[in-house]
Amino acid sequence: MRGTPDPQLAMLTTLSTEELIPADHPIRRIRVVVDAVLAELDDTFDAMYASSGRRSIPPETLLKATVLMAMYSIRSERAFCERLNYDLLFKWFLDMRIDQPAFESLSSCLCKRGAWG
């Protein structure tokens, strides 16, 4: 018998990106290294940002996004942000929730120029 798609959306889900990424995927080892390097820069990042004001995209997230762009040959921030909306591996690498929307490419560009330009 031919099956039919189920149009019902799940109200709640306990799905975790951690469970979806294979244990032997090479990006897991890369993430460990990147997180270790960024942890060493934590004090530097703290010194670069004010203690008050509007929250920015964390610099760790921007740098990890840059790593993903290089690894997957993504040529523009706009294309990266579009892919971030549906690629769960990217969300996992950036420590984002599944339902968290991608940041806008313009805002990420402005943040990078302000912090490192």
Where do the domains of the chain lie? 26-48+59-116
What's the pLDDT score for residue 52? 82
Whether 26 shows a pLDDT value over 80: the answer reads yes
pLDDT digits (tens, 9 = 90+) for 33-90: 999 999 999 899 888 888 887 777 888 998 999 999 999 999 988 899 899 999 999 9
Whether 111 shows a pLDDT value over 90: the answer reads no
What tokens were used for 62? 């921007």
Question: Cβ neighbours of residue 62 under 8 Å, at least 6 residues apart?
Answer: 108, 111, 112, 115
What tokens were used for 20? 């979806």
pLDDT band, residue 11 (cuts 50/70/90): low
What's the pLDDT score for residue 87? 94
Average pLDDT value for the chain: 82
What tokens were used for 72? 């997957």
What's the pLDDT score for residue 48? 85
Q: Rounded CA gap, 47 and 57, in Å?
A: 16
What's the pLDDT score for residue 110? 46
* Averaged pLDDT, 93-111: 73
